[in-house]
Amino acid sequence: MTTEALLDLGALGDDFIRDPYPVYAGLRARGPVHRVRIPEGAEAWLVVGYEAGKALLADQRLTKDWERASPTLGVKKVSVGTSMLGSDAPAHTRLRRLVAKEFTARRMERLAPRVQEMTDTLLDAMLAGPGRSADLVEALSFPLPMAVICELLGVPSLDRQAFRAWSNTAVSSLDAEERGRATAAMKTYLGDLIAERRAAPGDDLMSALIHTADDDGDRLSAAELVGMAWLLLVAGHETTVNLISNGVLSLLNHPDQLALLRADFGLIDNAVEETLRYEGPLETPTYRFTTEPLDVGGTVIPGGGELVLVAMADCDRDPARFPDADRFDITRDARGHVAFGHGIHHCLGAPLARIEARIALRSLLERCPRLRLDADPGALSWRTGMLLRGPLSLPVAW
């Protein structure tokens, strides 16, 4: 049983936000489980290292049901409605079945030409702008996945800037009241959006979710529709924003790897996988809570709804699984990373995220042969909180 003092991760400041990997590596050297206070204020059990982390991601003794969280934790639900993110099997199985057929790798590949069109349009606008510089987050990383998921769902009227502000606050703010106001606003907005699609259905995923039942006649309830809309819209763009930005930043910070990719764009899929491993878009997964005591590497995590966080960012930097893990190498075999999670909660949209990142990175590099970072890497501001990992802005020049 560990007796180490509680580590306040929030007190580590901007250095930890910018580069958490040395802190995680130091903890990993002492064992897989550590008691921490997360920047959001709650106390949690942080699990580091590949083997322990991957095992817990698939361990169904950990629940995603917020109703089973210990009331002493002081954590508040950050999603709206009822979704897969807050459900366990068999409820999770049912919800995933109702939407999974729309997100197969084959179906997602059919979207590739449209993703390419959207990417080309955004790059046209970026390159036509004043000067030879831009914030890549504003020019490409954010608008591309937002446009893709909105078109897929059939919500072209979405107020994207307002939605982006709510989404950013809901998933990254350290202020619980701010997060609460943002999620409440999104719940109202999504309810109105669903009502519009119910009244005027189209040939889109949102209409299908509202009107289509499975073979047993099962349909999504009103709360489940709001929850599914929240999940698809938020998860459908937030992680991919960071994946694109992190991929570009990693390549620009490693000129040798950038040169390799420019010389052979056949490495593009591998470059995306290495980005997911080396600087994935999620630092930790959404919250899990204990339903019974768990022995992890000799440390017993109590039952009763204790908060458990797996440091996926550290899992994928564990040299026991990935040799020379702190080196960005687009030629390595990065398979087995847990950037999209593991087990029944493995990211439903992983195929789409990979397609968007592949097309965005290749198109950007092909059209900007002299692309460079237009800021000191150490001066970049990063997302706060421990869920999403990526720069808030990414100044580039060409």
* 274-321 confidence digits (pLDDT tens): 999 999 999 999 999 999 999 999 999 999 999 999 999 999 999 999
Q: How many domains does the chain have?
A: 1
Q: Which amino acid is at 293?
A: P
Q: Count the Cβ atoms, other than its own, within 10 Å of residue 270.
A: 19
Q: HSE-up of 59 (CA within 13 Å, CB side)?
A: 22
> Has residue 156 been placed in a domain?
yes
In the DSSP assignment, the letter for residue 379 is G
Helix axes 112-128, 143-153, angle to 10 degrees: 140
> Has residue 19 been placed in a domain?
yes
> Has residue 277 been placed in a domain?
yes
Residue 217: the pLDDT is 62
Which residues of the chain, if any, have pLDDT below 50?
1-2
Residue 221: the pLDDT is 82
Residue 359: the pLDDT is 98
Run of H or E residues at 160:
helix 160-172
Contacts of 216 (CB under 8 A, 6+ apart): none
* Cα–Cα distance list, 256 to 53, 251, 325, 327, 328 (Å): 31, 8, 17, 12, 10
> Has residue 209 been placed in a domain?
yes
> Has residue 2 been placed in a domain?
no
Which residue range is the domain that position 220 belongs to?
7-397
pLDDT digits 0-9 by tens, 264-278:
999 999 999 999 999
Token look-up 């999403």 returns 388
Q: Which amino acid is at 269?
A: D
> Has residue 1 been placed in a domain?
no
Alpha-carbon dihedral 106, 231, 74, 287, rounded to 10 degrees: 0
Helix axes 222-252, 350-367, angle to 10 degrees: 40
In the DSSP assignment, the letter for residue 61 is T
Model-level pTM?
Answer: 0.92
Q: What is the CATH number of the domain that holds 146?
A: 1.10.630.10
* Cα–Cα distance list, 230 to 84, 150, 242, 283 (Å): 11, 12, 18, 20
> Has residue 151 been placed in a domain?
yes
Residue 185: the pLDDT is 87
Beta bridge partners of 55: none
> Has residue 82 been placed in a domain?
yes
Alpha-carbon dihedral 295, 93, 104, 136, rounded to 10 degrees: -60
Identify the CA nearest to 84 among candidates 235, 283, 284.
235
SS3 state at 290? strand
